[in-house]
Amino acid sequence: MLVNLSDVLTSADKTENYKAELEMQTYHCRLGDFPIVRKKPVSLKATNIGSGKAELDVQTQVVLMMSCDRCLKDVEYTFDISFSIEVLAPSIETEEPNEDNFMEGYQLNVESLISRELLMNWPMKVLCKTDCKGICKVCGKDLNTGECECDAFVPDPRMAVIKDIFNANNKEV
Ligand SMILES: [Zn+2]
Ligand SMILES: [Zn+2]
């Protein structure tokens, strides 16, 4: 959805509040495609802070369907988004090239702005529960539902020592 900010960008001391609906149903990014389970309307407060400049206060909540890093079960992950950002009218010359792609002239592309913010808030780890035991790498059993037979084989550290001595003796021969 596009929100026209030309009034706020061009009128001194002007403040406007907007509610914008996110149109995307799935969040596409370099990490994959994640269905959006729930989303709140994006609330935007835009305040003029100088000629061609506005500050945006942005708030929303987006819930994505992700999968547990350990057991791959579906996990609903909630992004509580709240941030402020400065936006510029296209007429303003900036020293640094502006790499943000969410302004299209005087219009704010809400989809692009929120997409960028989701990526910036991406969790390091997604777990179905903090103590998720994951799945067995050998048989694929979900270890949250119980132990599997594969765990029975744990190399005995004492055996490793004997093996080292054996190898050392062999070298002397
Ligand atoms: Zn899990
Ligand atoms: Zn197993």
pLDDT per residue as tens digits for the range 84-94: 999 999 888 77
Sheet with 103-104: list strands edge to edge. Answer: 2-4, 107-109, 103-104
Q: 115 lies in a domain?
A: yes
Q: What's the pLDDT score for residue 135?
A: 94
- Residue 161: inside a domain: yes
Does the residue 126 lie in any domain?
A: no
Identify whether residues 110 and 151 lie together within a single domain: no
What's residue 149's pLDDT? 87
74 alpha carbon – ligand 2 mean position (Å): 21
Number of domains the chain is built from: 2
What's the 52 CA to ligand 2 centre distance in angstroms?
62
Whole-Å CA distances, 154 to 21, 134, 145: 54, 18, 21
pTM reported for the whole predicted model: 0.80
Structure tokens that stand for 87 in this block: 């936006």
Residue 76 has pLDDT above 70, yes or no: yes
| Ligand 1 center to 130 CA (angstroms) | 8
Please count the other Cβ atoms lying within 10 Å of the Cβ belonging to residue 135. Answer: 19
Name which residue leads in pLDDT, 168 or 48: 48
Alpha carbon of 71 to ligand 2 centroid (Å) = 13
Given a cut of 80, is residue 109 above it in pLDDT? Answer: yes
Distance from the CA of 152 to the center of ligand 2, in angstroms?
9
Same domain, 100 and 153: no
pLDDT digits (tens, 9 = 90+) for 18-56: 999 999 999 999 999 999 999 999 999 999 999 999 999
If asked whether residues 43 and 101 sit together in one domain, one would say: yes
Q: What is the mean pLDDT of the chain?
A: 89
On whether both 54 and 99 belong to a single domain, the answer is yes
- Phi, psi (rounded to 5 degrees) for 110: -65, -35
Strand-strand pairing, 26-29 and 15-20: unpaired
Residue 151 domain boundaries = 143-172
Q: What is the pLDDT of residue 142?
A: 94
The answer to whether position 149 is within a domain reads yes
pLDDT of residue 170: 60
Domain match, 14 and 62 both: yes
Residue 14 and residue 77 in one domain: yes
Instruction: Tell me: pLDDT of 173 over 80.
Output: no
Same domain for 150 and 114, yes or no, is no
Whole-number Å distance, alpha carbon 67 to ligand 2 midpoint, is 21
Q: Does the residue 133 lie in any domain?
A: no
Least confident of 39-43, 106-110, 154-158: 154-158
For residue 135, report the distance from its CA to the centre of ligand 2, in Å: 8
Rounded to the nearest angstrom, the distance between the alpha carbon of 74 and the centre of ligand 1 is 8
Quick one: which of 76, 87, 18, 25 has its CA closest to 52? Answer: 87
153: pLDDT strictly greater than 60: no
Q: Is it the case that residue 172 has pLDDT exceeding 60?
A: no
